Amino acid sequence: MVVANLSHPDTNILKTLYGQPTSLLAVISADKLLGIIVDCLARDNSRSRARMHLEFLAQHLSQTHEQMQGVILEKAFIPYLLFTKPRQKLARVAWSVMTDPSSGLDSHDLLRGCVNLLSTLSDDETSVANLAALNLTLTTKVAG
């Protein structure tokens, strides 16, 4: 039932589930929940639902299960951080969620330098050179 509701197209259902993170984590393990959310992100093109999934991961799961922060970044955020023409808006959503002060992910070692570079871009700036520089910095960090 919980699994089906996490992929439900009605955002009110997601709000209800994510509004009570302790209850949600009481019925499903953090590892399994992360896997389900990653699957939902891969199958769903809705930015509003993607934002809700990513906010839950950044604001709740990564903070209650700090040992999972690297895995959360790797599986749920990094696939959406690169700026490409078709995924530019989703990339902005992912960066926005991750750099929010209530997120526990913005200071992760993997992203050091990337967050600073992103902050130099204006909201409407889509210069290929600037976005390419951000993508290069991120891929260099991930490749490590």
- Domain locations along the chain: 2-143
Q: How many whole angstroms separate alpha carbon 39 and alpha carbon 90? A: 16
As separate numbers, helices (DSSP H) first and strands (DSSP E) second, the chain gives: 11, 0
Distance CA 18, CA 58 (A): 12
Q: d(Cα 63, Cα 14) in Å, to the nearest integer?
A: 19
- Can you give the pLDDT at residue 1? 66
Alpha-carbon span 105 to 110, nearest angstrom: 9
pTM: 0.86
Contact predicate 58/50, CB 8 Å: no
Tens digit of each residue's pLDDT, the chain (144 residues): 677 788 888 999 999 999 999 999 999 999 999 999 999 999 988 999 999 999 999 999 999 999 999 999 999 998 898 888 788 889 889 988 988 888 878 777 777 666 666 666 655 555 667 777 778 877 887 776
Q: Which H helix or E strand runs over 100?
A: none
Contact 45, 87 (CB under 8 A): no
Closest CA to 105 of 81, 140, 136: 81
